[in-house]
Amino acid sequence: MSLERLLAVIPAGHSDEALAREVNFDRLPAHIAVIMDGNGRWAAQRHLPRVEGHRAGSDAVRETVETGARLGLDVLTLYAFSIENWKRPVTEVSTLMVLLKRYLRSELETLLKNDIRFRVIGRMDELAPDIQQELHLAIDRTAGNTGMLFNIALNYGGRAEIVDAARRAIASGIKPEALDEEQFAQFLYTAGQPDPDLLIRTSGEMRVSNYLLWQIAYAEIYVTDTLWPDFRRRHMLEALLAYQKRERRYGGITPARAAIGAQ
Ligand code: IPE
Ligand code: IPE
Ligand code: MG
């Protein structure tokens, strides 16, 4: 079913078709998280201002979101703005916010058409009121959708999330001895969502930059040199196919290895 939904947007004979046909839909990651990085370098390579890289990055967001929904993911989480990104020049930050607003306005119809539910993770109350308003509109309008959940991480920090969760846990009055990992996860921004199975980072950086620190405990990490504005369906399918070749162990041993050890 999902293969058909994906093929519906791939022109016949396009090289993405062969990649799509390789996907094992019985082994899809429930949740893909992406660190969208490299916009500034993309712009620098073209002798353009950094903000042009962010502008070009919107196309990559559009294609990634639609591909995720058509694949049939449960959750897709995109890292759009970290708490630490406030350290950037004011003009860059304000352009990022304007682009976000523009994206939300132009893509709301696409989100609705693809049955996508939109959510924000991060300290949303610290964003400018007009941005919050636009975000709430998209959240409310898509709240009844039942397809993929699209989280955007905005003013997000993994450590801040854990601190916020600890505060909520304390405020809830939960008894310390009742607090275990499962309970604690219910106080995170991602309460009720599966942990990311696959973490993709573009632009070649080998770090997690304060992203979903709790949730990525056993995520498979895939780093591509592709810069975010160049990231397309093909790159997402390549990441997915690489993920499907991985052996996940969660600290244990697979039956095949256990058999070798028993000999
Ligand atoms: C990612 O691209 C976008 C945000 C962090 C908002 P960068 O702006 O970090 O691009 P590089 O890393 O400087 O190339
Ligand atoms: C991570 O990228 C944040 C987002 C993608 C929003 P950064 O470019 O901010 O991370 P560092 O500074 O390279 O670690
Ligand atoms: Mg960067």
Asked, for residue 261, whether it belongs to a domain, the answer is no
Instruction: Record the pTM.
Output: 0.97
pLDDT tens-place string over residues 22-44: 999 999 999 999 999 999 999 99
Please choose, from the candidates 58, 102, 108, 59, the residue with its C-alpha nearest in 3D space to the C-alpha of residue 80. 58
* Ligand 1 atom showing the smallest separation from residue 80 Cα: 6
pLDDT of residue 260: 75
Asked, for residue 171, whether it belongs to a domain, the answer is no
Asked, for residue 183, whether it belongs to a domain, the answer is no
Asked, for residue 53, whether it belongs to a domain, the answer is yes
Residue 122 structure tokens: 């991060």
Ligand 1 touching residue 95 (CB < 6 A): no
Annotate 137-193 with DSSP letters as a single string. Answer: HHHHHHTT--S-EEEEEEEE-HHHHHHHHHHHHHHHT--GGG--HHHHHTTSTTTTS
Rounded to 5 degrees, φ, ψ at 42 are -60, -45
Q: CA 35 to CA 228: how far, in whole Å?
A: 9
Asked, for residue 119, whether it belongs to a domain, the answer is yes
Distance 203 CA to ligand 1 centre (A): 9
Please choose, from the candidates 49, 24, 64, the residue with its C-alpha nearest in 3D space to the C-alpha of residue 234. 64
Neighbours of 216 (CB within 10 A): 18
Which residue's C-alpha comes closest to atom 12 of ligand 2? Answer: 209
Q: CA 98 to CA 130: how far, in whole Å?
A: 10
* Ligand 2 atom showing the smallest separation from residue 153 Cα: 6
Please choose, from the candidates 247, 256, 202, 182, the residue with its C-alpha nearest in 3D space to the C-alpha of residue 220. 247
* Ligand 1 atom showing the smallest separation from residue 96 Cα: 6
pLDDT tens-place string over residues 143-178: 999 999 999 999 999 999 999 999 999 999 999 999
Ligand 2 first shell, C-beta below 6 A: 35-37, 79-82, 85, 205, 207, 209
Asked, for residue 166, whether it belongs to a domain, the answer is no
- 82, 206, 210, best to mutate for ligand 2 pocket (most atoms within 8 Å of CB): 82
Whether residue 54 contacts residue 228, with contact meaning beta carbons closer than 8 Å, is answered with no
Asked, for residue 102, whether it belongs to a domain, the answer is yes
Ligand 1 touching residue 81 (CB < 6 A): yes
24 belongs to the catalytic site: no
Q: CA 243 to CA 189: how far, in whole Å?
A: 25
Lowest mean pLDDT among 23-37, 78-92, 245-259: 245-259
Domain that holds residue 37: 27-158+194-246
CATH code for the domain in which residue 57 is found: 3.40.1180.10
Mean confidence (pLDDT) of the chain: 96
Q: How many domains does the chain have?
A: 1
pLDDT of residue 263: 60
Q: CA 20 to CA 43: how far, in whole Å?
A: 30
Distance 209 CA to ligand 2 centre (A): 6
Asked, for residue 81, whether it belongs to a domain, the answer is yes
